[in-house]
Structure 1
Amino acid sequence: MYKYNNFYKKNFIFKIIENDIKNKKYNLICTRFPPEPNGHLHIGHIKSVCLNFSIAKFYKGKFFLRIDDTNPSTENIKYIKSIKKDLIWLGFKWDENIKYTSNYFNLIYKYAVELIKKDLAYVDELNIQDIKNYRGTLLTPGKNSPYRNRSVKENLKLFEKMYLGDFPEGSVCLRAKIDMKSKIIVMRDPVLYRIKFQNHHQTKRKWCIYPTYDFSHCISDAIEGITHSLCTLEFQDNKILYNWILNNINIKKNHPKQYEFSKLNIEYGITSKRNINILIKNKIVSGWDDPRLLTISGLRRKGYTPSSLKNFCYSIGVTKQNNIIEMSFLESCIKSELNELAPRSMAILRPLKIIIDNFPFKKKIKLLIPNHPNKKNMGYRNIYFTKEIYIDILDFSEIEKKNYKRLILGYKVKLRYSFIIKARKIVKDKNNNIIYVHCKYYKDSLGKKINRKKQNVKGIIHWISCYYVKPAKFYLYKNLFIKKDIHINDNILNFLNKKSLLIYNGFIEKNLLENNSNRHFQFEREGYFFFDKKYSNKNKIIFNRILSLRMNDK
Structure 2
Amino acid sequence: MTENKEKAQSSHITNFLRNIINEDLKQGVNDPRHWCGHPGTYTEQMEGPIDEAKVRLRFPPEPNGYLHIGHAKSICLNFGLAKDYAGRCHMRFDDTNPVKEDQEYVDSILGSVNWLGFDWKDAKETNFYFASDYFDNMYEIAEHMIKNGLAYVDEQTAEQIKENRGTLHTPGVDSPFRDRPAEESLRLFREMREGKHPEGSMVLRSKVDMSSRNINLRDPAIYRIRFAEHHRTGDKWCIYPMYTFAHPLEDVLENITHSICTLEFEDQRAFYNWATERSVPITRAPLFEKAKAVLADLQKKSFEEIKPFAEAAVKFKWKLGQTETERELASLLADIKANPENLNDASAHAIVNAVAAKPEVFTPLLQDVLSATVKPNFFLLPHQYEFNRLNLTYVVMSKRKLIALVKEGLVDGWDDPRMPTLVGLRRRGYSPEAMRLFCDRVGVSKQTGSWIDYSVLEGSLRDVLDAEADRRIAVQDPIKLIIDNYPEDQIEEFESPNHPQHLERGSRKLSFGKELWIERSDFAEEPPKGYRRLT
Common fold by TM > 0.5: yes
AA partner of residue 520 (structure 2) = I
* Residue 319, structure 1, aligned to residue 436, structure 2: no
State the distance in 2 between where 1:78 and 1:342 align: 33
SS of the residue aligned with 1:245?
helix
Which runs of 5 or more residues in structure 1 are unaligned? 406-410, 413-455, 457-554
Instruction: Tell me which amino acid in the other structure corresponds to 2:105.
Output: Y
CA drift of 1:378 comes to: 3.6
State whether residues 344 and 372 of structure 1, in contact with CA within 8 Å, keep that contact through their aligned partners in structure 2.
Answer: yes
Q: Does 1:54 align with 2:80?
A: yes
Q: Does 1:332 align with 2:493?
A: no
For 2:198 and 2:495, locate their aligned partners in 1 and report how far apart those are by CA, in whole Å. 73
Contact persistence 1:36–1:68 (CA under 8 A): yes
The answer to whether 1:207 aligns with 2:237 is: yes
Give the structure with the higher percent strand. Answer: 1
TM-score, structure 2 as length reference: 0.71
Q: Aligned equivalents of 2:237 and 2:90: distance in 1?
A: 25
Q: 1:230 offset after TM fit, Å?
A: 0.8
Query: Could you tell me how far 1:387 is from its partner in structure 2?
Result: 7.0
2:240 alignment partner, SS class = strand
Shift of 1:386: 7.1
1:92 offset after TM fit, Å? 0.9
Contact map agreement 2:89 2:127 (CA 8 A) in 1 = no
User: Which residue of the partner structure matches residue 189 of structure 2?
Assistant: 159
Aligned-partner Cα distance in 2 for 1:337–1:146:
62
Q: 1:194 to 1:53 in 2, by over 3 A?
A: same
Aligned partner of 2:17 in structure 1 is: 13
Find the aligned partners of 1:402 and 1:169 in 2 and give their Cα distance. Answer: 74
C-alpha distance in structure 2 between counterparts of 1:373 and 1:403, whole Å: 33
Q: Give the TM-score of the pair, scaled to structure 1.
A: 0.69
Return the match for 2:128 from 87, 94, 98: 98
C-alpha separation between the residues in 2 aligned to 1:12 and 1:337? 27
> Which residue among 18, 23, 27 is the counterpart of 2:27?
23
After superposition, the Cα gap between the structure-2 partners of 1:403 and 1:235, relative to the gap in structure 1 and judged at 3 Å, is farther
Match of 2:105 in 1: 79
SS of residue matched to 2:120: coil
Specify which of 217, 220, 236 is matched with residue 190 of structure 1. Answer: 220
CA distance in 1, matches of 2:411, 2:397: 14
Q: After superposition, what is the alpha-carbon deviation per residue over 1:125-145, rounded to whole angstroms, capped at 9, x for unaligned?
A: 223232222212212222122
For residue 347 of structure 1, give the secondary structure of its aligned residue in structure 2: coil
Query: Which of 276, 282, 291 in structure 1 is aligned with 2:417?
Result: 291
Of 397, 400, 421, the match for 2:527? 400
User: What pairs up with 1:145-156 in 2 under 5 angstroms?
Assistant: 145-156=175-186
Matched, 1:70 2:100: no
* Equivalent pair of 1:218/1:242 in contact (CA under 8 Å): yes
Residue 379 of structure 1: how far off its partner (Å): 3.4
Q: Which residue of 1 aligns with 2:296?
A: none
Alignment of 1:102-501 (within 5 A): 102-249=132-279, 250=281, 251-252=283-284, 253-322=379-448, 323-354=450-481, 365=491, 367-370=493-496, 371-382=498-509, 390-403=517-530, 411-412=533-534
Counterpart of 2:410 in 1: which secondary structure?
coil
In structure 1, how many angstroms separate the alpha carbons of the residues matched to 2:130 and 2:419? 27
Given that 1:368 and 1:380 are in contact with CA atoms closer than 8 Å, whether structure 2 keeps it comes out as no
Task: Specify whether residues 291 and 404 from structure 1 end up closer, same or farther in structure 2 by C-alpha distance, changes over 3 A only.
Answer: farther
Aligned pair in 2 of structure 1 residues 97, 401: CA closer, same or farther (>3 Å)?
A: same
Secondary structure in 2 aligned to 1:345?
coil
Distance between the aligned counterparts of 2:516 and 2:227, measured in 1?
65
Q: Residues 224-273 of structure 1, C-alpha deviation per residue, up to 9 Å, x if partnerless? A: 11011111111111110011112222221211111111111111112221
TM-fit CA distance, 1:343: 2.5
| Identical-pair percentage | 46
**1:316-362 deviations in whole A, cap 9, x for unaligned?**
2221012111111121111112123223333333343456678899x
Output the CA distance in 2 between the equivalents of 1:90 and 1:5.
14
Deviations 1:481-524 (A, max 9, x none): xxxxxxxxxxxxxxxxxxxxxxxxxxxxxxxxxxxxxxxxxxxx
Per-residue deviation at 1:186? Answer: 0.5
* SS of 2:236 mapped into structure 1: coil
How far the C-alpha of 1:107 sits from its partner, in A, is 0.3
Which ranges of structure 2 fall in alignment gaps of 5 or more residues?
32-53, 285-378
Q: Structure 1 residues 210, 366: CA separation in 2 closer, same or farther (over 3 Å shift)? A: farther
* Aligned residue type for 1:271: M
Residue 492 of structure 2 contacts residue 513 of structure 2 at CA under 8 Å; is this kept in 1? no
Amino acid aligned to 2:420: L
Distance 2:490 2:162 in 1: 77
